Chains A and B, each alone.
Chain A
């Protein structure tokens, strides 16, 4: 296959490859909201070429830096680039170059401090990692490791933000209901490093990768499931690179795992109450476009009794971003909000009453957007929807 993305040749070289055709412009969710050429991917590369390939540092102005960080890393630009530039990698490299010059937005300092001291992105200490589990019928069900247990990497957002605590609760409940043992790392789980990568602070993310990989190995976990696509993406694509070896375990996203359980007929539907719902599915960027997982979540939805799936105009590799990726919410929350509202509009156009995603960040920003718009649509994670029939 020669049609796939090409090996990244470094910031300066890839910036030179960009002809500025603007295919990226019309699909960029940030450009769609801001509207100036400076916010379009090609605009950022045009100046980036001068700065990073041409050495013209005086072009590295505050407004430009702002534009570089006004990006969700959704990679729709990479999908359509006729020169096959891996633009997602390009944006990360630009952020690293800016961070190396000490010019990154100040907000990332606090985030990095939190991660350094708490090992998670919240302001809470890491011993609260399992607070969400108090709401399980049997909180102990995730404590005891058995040799055949599936490891569950919960992720910072699902662990610490009550708004999305239903996601790990649902996932673990589904597992328990179907007789599958799950174990977690508890406070030994550290941030996967994704937010630091998005902030261009790759060096600081290394120790997190080393720690998590070591603890997973120590626990003898053979299969690791994440409900967070960004954790999944970081483990899948970043860890092998920085650790210099393949993962010691099989990594799957919860959507893949559940889809596999359904296929293997290991889900017991006997007590399941039909849902009678029309739903639409929002592909999270780090699960869909950036990891190529489109069918698994759809397979789950098509198999849940009483659920009808209707697609939005932009789906699969063309799915619109929710606005919550790439640390955008930290640097420009109103931009995230505007992008999310656009996605809600599209979901409403399908006539669905539930908007499903497979990502806690998408669920969080889309829920906020739906509330603001008073949209007659409920937003939930795929685990929540599946659990509904047993609840």
Chain B
């Protein structure tokens, strides 16, 4: 059967070590010796199907041979979701790209899963339409990848998580069966949202689109005090949920670090900042909103930054990784956090940074009236392996702060499996496992992820290990140059 697969896929099948090595990681850098203790990230083969039938063929093969299958699209996350935990076969989905059908009357598009958000949006804009929401990794992230993950990003305040825009899916189930799903089928499409590739492979997505908004307004509000700024954010999002396209917070420490390398406006370096990007049917609507923003700004003692700076923030909104120019090696943790706790989170994480002698750089998107997806990054140095490992202990401390404030890790993938019981309630986890057993009894589909940690990442062991690394870190000579420390 493998021979048949090889023959069918021809040059789109590989066992070459040279090619396979590129599929052993995503954004997260974990030293090889450590990865090999807990996972087998090197796939035995990689295939690049170009349609659902081919996906089905390879999944059927894997199912019959009890081989692990790892779906991979943009490979733009850092939790190991698209990296094999148990070798097997990586299905590189990037051949399934493009628009299948555009229905302007119903404002819907059907798209192949590895189409990136930038590709889809560029296509739609030619017709006067655009996507409703998208991740800030717009050029890298795919439609299927974002739906399989958190699905929160720009546009989420108004349109909700991506799943709310989806009306039907085509999926290849772990049995190899190709199935069309909607909200009432068995299983319903909602099961696949956030399933991180563990239930099957999404091969088509039908979703809502919208006309390009007629006008946009960009504002940048700054404050020395994060509490006032984030309270203002909360008030804005509850008052204007239907017109806020994007609400993005940067901590003062982050702005200051960027400023030092000329990566943001000089003025911004002394403040926490909140970018608010609004969409309206017409510009007169924006005037009213501007009045509201003015009131908020004076109520909380904040200040508007110049329009030019606000525009610059908007135009560079996909460039969060420019911070890598300041610190080429960053560790970090991303949480889904109640907006109400956002300012306390920033304060506590920064206090942790002061204790640990490291800058905690925080940014985040408010994604609904209630929640924000927040990333905290801190500098380390991967060239000093042990120092780097010790620094990873701070990730656990960030998550602990988050947990106390009702935050959960944003994605699970492989590396956040020690937190699975924090991420889901008992009841929810039981339900998720039931779905998994129902659809994938052989546990081939992205096995080793999401539901339970591998032995060495069991919470007790993991927390003990991290605590030990944290202790070692305290007595370890400082690794990163002094200017990186507080």
Which A residues lie at the B interface, using CB under 8 A?
1-3, 6, 13, 16-27, 35-38, 40, 43, 46-47, 54, 61, 63-64, 80, 82-84, 313-314, 318
Contact = CB atoms under 8 A, between A and B. Distances in A.
B381 to A, nearest CB: 10
B322 A83 contact: yes
B140 to A, nearest CB: 4
Contacts of B126: 313
List 3 tightest A-B contacts by C-beta distance, closest first: A37-B22, A23-B139, A16-B328
B116 interface: yes
Contacts of A17: 324-325, 328
Given A37-B75, A80-B139, A3 B26 contact: no
Given A37-B75, A37-B92, A84-B319, A26 B325 contact: no
Given A21-B27, A21-B140, A83 B123 contact: no
A309 to B, nearest CB: 16
B254 to A, nearest CB: 14
Nearest to A20: B27
Interface stretch (B171-179, B226-234, B257-265, B337-345): B257-265
25 contacts: A2-B265, A3-B315, A3-B316, A6-B263, A6-B325, A16-B328, A17-B325, A17-B328, A20-B26, A22-B74, A22-B76, A23-B318, A26-B116, A27-B139, A35-B12, A36-B19, A38-B18, A43-B22, A46-B25, A61-B18, A63-B16, A82-B319, A82-B322, A83-B322, A83-B325
A43 to B, nearest CB: 5
Given A2-B262, A26-B74, A36-B19, A19 B140 contact: no
Contacts of B347: none
Contacts of B318: 23, 80, 82
Given A23-B137, A63-B18, 5 more contacts: A2-B264, A6-B261, A17-B324, A25-B75, A26-B74
Contacts of A2: 262-265, 312, 316
B65 interface: no
B48 interface: yes
Interface in B301-349: 312, 315-316, 318-322, 324-325, 328-330
A23 B18 contact: no
Nearest to B22: A37
B122 interface: yes
A38 B22 contact: yes
Nearest to B48: A35
Contacts of A83: 319, 321-322, 324-325
Contacts of B328: 13, 16-17
A3 B319 contact: yes
Given A19-B27, A35-B95, A318 B122 contact: yes
B22 A82 contact: no
A2 B316 CA distance: 9
Nearest to B308: A1
Nearest to B264: A2
A43 B25 CA distance: 11
Contacts of A47: 21-22
A82 B323 CA distance: 9
A82 B321 contact: yes
Contacts of B85: none
B27 A37 contact: no
Interface string B346-387: 000000000000000000000000000000000000010000
B140 A22 contact: yes
Contact of A21 (B95, B123, B137): B137
B22 A1 contact: no
A90 to B, nearest CB: 13
Nearest to A15: B328
Contact of B23 (A22, A27, A37): A37
B54 interface: no
Given A36-B14, A83-B322, A1 B122 contact: no
Contacts of B165: none
A21 B74 CA distance: 8
Contacts of A21: 27, 76, 137, 140, 321
A296 to B, nearest CB: 23
B122 to A, nearest CB: 7
A63 B265 CA distance: 43
B118 interface: yes
**Which of A16, A20, A24 has the most B CB atoms < 10 Å from its CB?**
A20
A345 B330 CA distance: 42
B123 A84 contact: no
A31 to B, nearest CB: 9
A316 to B, nearest CB: 12
A93 B383 CA distance: 22
A82 B116 CA distance: 15
Given A2-B312, A21-B321, A23-B137, A38 B19 contact: yes
B324 A19 contact: yes
A25 B21 CA distance: 17
**Which of B25, B116, B261, B325 has the most A CB atoms < 10 Å from its CB?**
B325
A46 B316 contact: no
A20 B27 CA distance: 6
Contacts of A54: 383
Nearest to B117: A26
Contacts of A318: 122
B119 interface: yes
Contacts of A63: 16, 18
Nearest to A79: B139
A83 B325 CA distance: 7
A61 B17 CA distance: 12
Interface string B209-248: 0000000000000000000000000000000000000000
Contacts of B119: 26
A283 B26 CA distance: 33
Nearest to B46: A36
A35 B48 CA distance: 8
Contacts of B264: 2
Contacts of B92: 35-37
B182 interface: no
A26 B119 CA distance: 9
B320 A82 contact: yes
B140 A84 contact: no
B419 to A, nearest CB: 22
Contacts of A20: 25-27, 75
A313 B99 CA distance: 14
